[in-house]
Amino acid sequence: MAFWDYANPTRFLKLVETVLPWLTGLCVIVFAVGLYLGFFVAPEDYQQGATVRIMFIHVPAAWLCMMCYSIMALSSLGTLVWKHPLADVSAKSAAPIGAAFTFMALVTGSLWGKPMWGTYWVWDARLTSVLVLFIMYLGLMTLWRTMDDPIKAGKAAAVLTLVGALNLPIIKFSVDWWNTLHQPASVMRMDGPSIDSSMLWPLFVMAIAFTLLFFVIHLMAMRNEILRRRVRALRMRAASAAHPGTAAATAQPAE
């Protein structure tokens, strides 16, 4: 089956039904393995001690908040360029998940920073960029919520997502520059310790687990969004059937 065949929402829902149980099972297994490796196999870091275990969730969360934005940017291209009917469904359902992962990355980062750097927050380039990313996720979610027509909201959000994607490297660059200017005289190491391979494995497994988790939730959220639009379309049709002529003008195509 070609990629384009999944443009049909009904067929996509069928695909989700078949794939989702397997993906969920795999996700649970990989999570179990990753947590086991992280807590019982990986040794303590000689500098960070046991706090290195926070890294096993912090790094995957940080990696996923980037990946999620990339997926949203690709989906926005799909909305604007190819007008793929599932693209804005994908982008819309990815935004809350991305916000959640960004939140996780920020929280675990702060909780790691307190014992390691002695403070919960520094205006370091990386932290600041992630905070900006978090604000952008929330802004996109708000934009989606405030527009009641999903098609228009999808297009507006797609424009903003792409502008954000263009802007994120600029923001990263300028925050880096700003940070070197205001480098605080603290004990923090910017480079971070080089990671031993015994710690790389749990990190790697946890990254796969988080990625699987993202796709599981993303597929479920996309299914919800398709159902929501179906409900909306049916309600509109019902309303236009009840009052012919008045509501017909505002009725939207189903998906």
Partner 1 sequence: MDLGPHAGFIIASYVLCAITVLGLIAWVRLDQAAQERALKELADRGIGRARTGQDSKS
Partner 2 sequence: MNGWAMTLFRRDISLSVRIGGSALVGVLFFLAVVTVIPFGVGPDLNLLARIGPAILWIGALLATLLGLDRLFQADREDGTLDLMLMAGRPLEVVVLVKCLAHWVATGLPLVVAAPLLGIFLNLDPVSMAAVTATLLVGTPALTLIGAIGASLTVSLRRGGLLLAVLVIPLAIPVMIFGVSSADAAIHDPMPFMTPFLILCALTLISAVIGPVASAIALRFAGD
Residue 143 in the binding site for partner 2 (CB under 8 A): yes
Residue 23 in the binding site for partner 1 (CB under 8 A): no
Determine the Cα–Cα distance for residues 117 and 189; give it in Å rounded to an integer. 9
**Least Å from the CB of residue 1 to partner 1:** 14
Neighbours of 183 (CB within 10 A): 10
Determine the Cα–Cα distance for residues 178 and 221; give it in Å rounded to an integer. 38
The listed partner (partner 2, partner 1, none) that binds 44, CB under 5 to 8 Å by sort, is partner 1
The listed partner (partner 2, partner 1, none) that binds 84, CB under 5 to 8 Å by sort, is none
Contact with partner 1 (CB under 8 A) among 3, 22, 40, 46? 40
Name the segment binding partner 1 (CB under 8 A); options: 73-81, 142-150, 196-204, 214-222.
214-222
**Least Å from the CB of residue 61 to partner 1:** 7
Residue 142 in the binding site for partner 1 (CB under 8 A): no
Residue numbers at the binding site for partner 1 (CB under 8 A): 7-11, 39-40, 44, 49-51, 53-54, 57-58, 61, 96-97, 100, 103-104, 107-108, 111-112, 114-115, 213, 217, 220-221, 223-224, 227-228, 230-231, 234-235, 237-238, 254-255
